[in-house]
Structure formats: C-alpha cells, structure tokens
Amino acid sequence: MPINPDAVGETGGPVKRSWNSKDALLYAVGIGAGTSDLEFTTENTNNTTQRVLPTFAVIIGGGGAPMNKIGSFNPMLMVHGEQGIELLDEIPPDGEIESTGRIAAIWDKGNAAVIETESEAVSVATGKPLLKTRSMLFCRGEGGWGGDRGPSEKVAFPDAEPTHQVTYTTREDQALTYRLSGDRNPLHSDPSFATMGGFDKPILHGLCTYGFTGRALLSELCGNDPSKFRSMNARFSKPVIPGDALTVSIWVDGTTALFRTTNQDGDVVIDQGVCTFN
C-alpha cells in the first residue's frame, strides 16, 4: 500500500513513556554536554541540582501519532525533514508522560511525500501539559498523486552579523553515545550500512545535531536555564559526520531568535531555525 493522503487528521494514543535521571544524563552526554555542564551531566554534584536539557523532548515526546494509518514507504529512502518542540513546563529528571498524536498533513512534493505529525504530552504526576512536538518526514519516491505541495514560506535571515555565535566540535564516536538514547539505526554506527546509504562513513543522527544546536540556544539565550526555553523549530539540510565542528549562528529579536548551524566547511546543516524564549 502506498502513502495514504486520507490519513490526515487521524489521531492516536494515549501512549505512556517514562524516563529517569540516568536517561536524561545519557542524553546530555550524547549531545556533547560535559564537565562545564554539571547540572545536566551529573545528579550528585555539591550544590548543583540536576536539570534536563530542553531538547530531551525529542527523546520522550512524539508518541501517539498513528503511523500505521499512513500507508507504506521504503524506510531506506526516508529522511527527517524538520523538527519542532514546545516546552509548556520544565522537564523533570524523572517522570512519566501520556501522549496523544495526530497526522497533521501529508504533502505531495512530486518525487516525494512529506508526512507531518504532531504530538502533545501531559505529565502523569501533575495532569498538566508538559510538551509538544512536531516532526516532518521526507519520504523519497512516494509522491506524485496530485496532492497539495504544501507551504513554501522561508525564514528571512537578517543581512547582519549574528547576535551570538557558538562552535562545538562533535566527537568521532559521538553517534555511538547518542544512539544509546534510543535510535539504533545502523546508518549511524555500521560502516557497511552507511555505504549502502551512499555515505563514506556513518553519519550523525540529525536529532543529535539538533541537540547540539539546542545547547547553544539554551546557553546564549537563556543563560542555561531550561525554564526560560520555550520552543525550537528547524529544518535538516545536510548530514553531519561525527568529528565535524558545528557553528550555531543566532540573530535575536526580542524574545524570538532565528538560527542556523553550519559545519567547518561553511555548509548549512540545520536551517530555517526559529527559537522562542523568556
């Protein structure tokens, strides 16, 4: 069965997901946090309370979207197109959520289908909404049924130097740590599988690059205070190779910031970024 555009509007869930302090610590290390970030990488440092990086939302959120309703596609030809998160409260080091989701849109790009899903998670402990996620999957070879191509608006970056600019260097084994947070796709660890995918070596998870970018936003815009971080939306534009240096450029306008991430060669790897904060 090919992609089913009639699945738009289908809902699913609730789905429960729990996590603990160790899960949050492992995620932080997986996106490059270290000895300068002990509030995110340790739970027993003197006078330091463990807190959770906002982009941990991509690990625990997203549940409930009824992917079994969208038809079929070749997973080898699917790439993560965009990712968004919205924090409605600060994520605790230990917790449980109940998520519901829906198929928000299916766009026909001619040579591909784009599937947009949305999910909202409620804290089981408090009964209050904790976070929302939005994801877009680009499925090559699945378009062409004559459907709507979808919106084409783009972020207009200022013709000025960025307000902030931060560079982090990923480790050559970065993907081996990040995969322990859940995404065991061998594209990120097995050289032979990466070769079949058209890459010289395993590539970094897009959501790991997203996490590195989120760390820069949290540091520069929120003073590393997760309670001030509200939302982050961005598009994946080029794969990152473990060991690459990532430079995050940020343009601030009030409580909104535009951002993009480039590698050491100046290639844009995360684009169309918009972040809101307190």
Catalytic residue among 203, 241, 250, 270: 203
Catalytic residue among 188, 211, 244, 270: 188
Asked if residue 166 lies in contact with residue 219, where contact means CB atoms within 8 angstroms, the answer is yes
State yes or no: is 203 an active-site residue: yes
Give the H or E element holding residue 14. strand 11-19
Q: Can you read off the two tokens belonging to residue 197?
A: 């995918």
State yes or no: is 206 an active-site residue: yes
CA distances from 270 to 131, 189, 274 (A): 22, 21, 11
Q: What secondary structure does DSSP assign to 127-190, as a single string?
A: -SEEEEEEEEEEEET---SS------------SS--SEEEEEE--TTHHHHHGGGS---GGGT-
Report strand pairing: 229-236 vs 129-140: unpaired
CA 111 to chain centre: 24
Catalytic residue among 71, 206, 214, 273: 206
Catalytic residue among 94, 141, 147, 183: 183
Asked if residue 18 lies in contact with residue 92, where contact means CB atoms within 8 angstroms, the answer is no
**Nearest 5°: CA angle at 30, between 26 and 42?**
40
State yes or no: is 31 an active-site residue: no
Give the H or E element holding residue 19. strand 11-19
CA–CA distance, 39 with 44 (Å, rounded to integer): 9
State yes or no: is 188 an active-site residue: yes
DSSP-derived letter for residue 55 is G
Active site residues: 183, 188, 203, 206
